[in-house]
Structure 1
Amino acid sequence: MVESNYHQKTQTQRFVISPNNSLSWQQVIVYFTIIAGTCLAVAVYFTFLGVWLVLPFAGMEILLLAAAFYMTARRCAMKEVINIDPDTLYIERGRYKVEQKFKFLTAWTKVTLKTSEYRNYPSQLMIGSHGKLVEIACDLCEEEKAKLAEDLHTSLIDATQVIPHV
C-alpha cells in the first residue's frame, strides 16, 4: 500500500510504503487464541481417552503457529518512507523507528523498474545515483510498483524544477 502527500510549505513530497496487512495485532491475538484453544481442547480430550501422545504434538503445533503469526505480524509492521525535496531524496526504513536511512541528491537520482528475466519472479524497483542503488517497495504487487515508479519519476522531475524561495 502506498500513501502519498505533498507539503506545499516545505515543497516536499512524501511516500509511505507498507505491505498489505490483512490483520491488526489484536486480530492476530484473537485468531491465535481461538485456534490454539481449539487445538488444545482436542489434544486434552484425546489425552483423557488414553492417547496421551497427541498432547506434545499439539503443543509443538501451537508453538509453530505462534511463531508464524509473530513473524508475519512483524514483517507487516515494516514501513518505507521516501521524502523528496528540491535538494535531497531520503529513504527511511524500519518497523517502529528508523533502522536504515539512505540519502541521494534529487538532481542525480534515477528511478528504475527492473523486470525479472524469469517468469513469475517479481520486478525490482530501484532508486539510486552515482552507482549506489537501493531496492524499495519489495512487498508491493507489480501494478503498485509500476504506479509508484511513475509517481516517483514525476515527483523527481517536479522537485528539480522548483525554484527555492530566498
Structure 2
Amino acid sequence: MVVALHKQQARDGTWRYELCPNRSRSWPETQRFFAVMVVLGGSIALLFAAQGLWWVAPFSGLELLALGAGLYFCSRATYQRELILVREAQVSVLRGGAHQRSQVDFTRAWAQLRWRAAANGGGRSQLLLGSHGRYIEIGAFLVDAERRQLAGELGLLLGQPSCAESPVLPLNTGLNREIGL
C-alpha cells in the first residue's frame, strides 16, 4: 500500500505533512505497458492490412494515440504533491510535482480548518484551510478517511480538534485506499 500522508517534525519545531496521490504504477512501468500495447495493436493492424483491410491501421493508430495520451496525463497527475508546513507563526501549503507550482501562506494564529460534507446526492467532502475569508482545499486527492485523518491531525496543531467531526486516527493505520476505508 502506498501511504498518501507522511508526517514528520523537524528540529526547529516545524510540522511537515506531505500528501501524494495513490500511484499504482511507476512511470517506467507505464511505459513498458504502453510498449506492449503498441506491439500488440500494431501486430493486429498489420495482420488486417495483410488481409486487405488496410483501413484498420489508421484507427488502430488513433486508438494507441488516445491510450498513450490517457496514460501520460493520468501518470502525470499521480506525481503531484501537496506539502503543508506548520511553523510557529505560519502555515504554508506548497503544491506542485517536480517543480513547485504555487505556495499559499496563512498566519498560524488565524488559520482555520473547515470541513464541507459531501452533498446528499453523493460527491466528496472537502477539507478547507484558510483565514480572513480566503480558503483553499487541501488533500483533494485523498479518500474521505485520509482527509478526516489529516483534519484531525492539523486541527490539533491549530487548536481546533473538532473540525472534521471525527476522532483522530493515528497515521499509517492501514487505510485501504482502493475501497475508501
Alignment RMSD, CA only? 1.2
The alignment partner of 1:86 has SS state of coil
- Match 1:66 to one of 43, 62, 68: 68
The alignment partner of 2:109 has SS state of helix
Runs of 4+ in 1 over 6 A off after TM superposition: none
* Cα distance in 1 between the residues matched to 2:154 and 2:39: 47
Aligned length: 157
* Cα distance in 1 between the residues matched to 2:7 and 2:121: 30
Q: Which residue of 2 aligns with 1:162?
A: none
Q: Which residue of 2 aligns with 1:2?
A: 5
* Cα distance in 1 between the residues matched to 2:99 and 2:159: 29
Q: Which residue of 1 aligns with 2:28?
A: 26
Q: Identify the structure with the greater helix proportion.
A: 1
Q: Which residue of 2 aligns with 1:163?
A: none
Q: CA deviation at 1:155?
A: 2.0
- State the TM-score, normalizing by the size of structure 2: 0.84
Residue identity in the other structure for 1:27: E
- Match 1:123 to one of 125, 131, 134: 125
Unpaired runs of 5+ in structure 1? 159-166
Q: Which residue of 2 aligns with 1:52?
A: 54
Q: CA deviation at 1:111?
A: 1.0
Give the structure, 1 or 2, with the largest relative contact order (CA under 8 Å, sep 6 or more): 1
- Match 2:99 to one of 83, 97, 100: 97
Fraction of identical pairs, as percent: 28
Q: CA deviation at 1:119?
A: 2.8
- Output aligned runs, 1:86-165, within 5 Å: 86-157=88-159
**CA offsets 1:71-102 (integer angstroms, 9 cap, x no match):** 00111111000000110000000111111100
- State the TM-score, normalizing by the size of structure 1: 0.92
Higher gyration radius (CA)? 1
